[in-house]
Amino acid sequence: MQFDAALAAQAALQEAETELGSGWDTAAELEGVFSSNAGSVAREAYEGLLSLATSYPQAHSFQAFCIYITWQQATEETIERHFQTGIRLCEAYLVSREAKSQQHIDYVTELYGSFRDGLGLDEEDEIQVEFRKDTPKGGD
């Protein structure tokens, strides 16, 4: 990756303060628990942050923050669910036509590829490779 997801998450969270308004205190509290704990305590705070994000779909910096911390979750606890959550969050973020930071768009696009790679969605298996080799090319 061309950036540090943890640093990007910190910056995105600070940007999100104005977006969240009355939800900021909850977000800051949950992030504090998430970043200073591990295991089930951190997982519960993470789930709380994702839940809060559903209440603020127009909070683009907060949505990016949630994508970045999902990557952190996926690297710490490498399970399919985190990669699927990351893909879902990235797709929702990238599909929205509203104005967003170009830097967040670039980072989210890169993470989208990484989440897909983590599930093997962009990889060809041996049969696909052999089929492609055996398929006649145009011009014959």
pLDDT digits (tens, 9 = 90+) for 33-88: 999 998 899 999 999 999 999 999 999 999 999 999 999 999 988 899 999 999 99
Entry pTM: 0.84
Task: Cite the DSSP H helix spans in 5-139.
Answer: 5-20, 24-36, 39-55, 60-76, 80-95, 102-118, 126-134
Q: Which amino acid is at 17?
A: E
Burial class (CB in 10 A: 0-12, 13-18, 19+), 19: middle
Residue 24: closest CA among 47, 54, 56, 1: 56
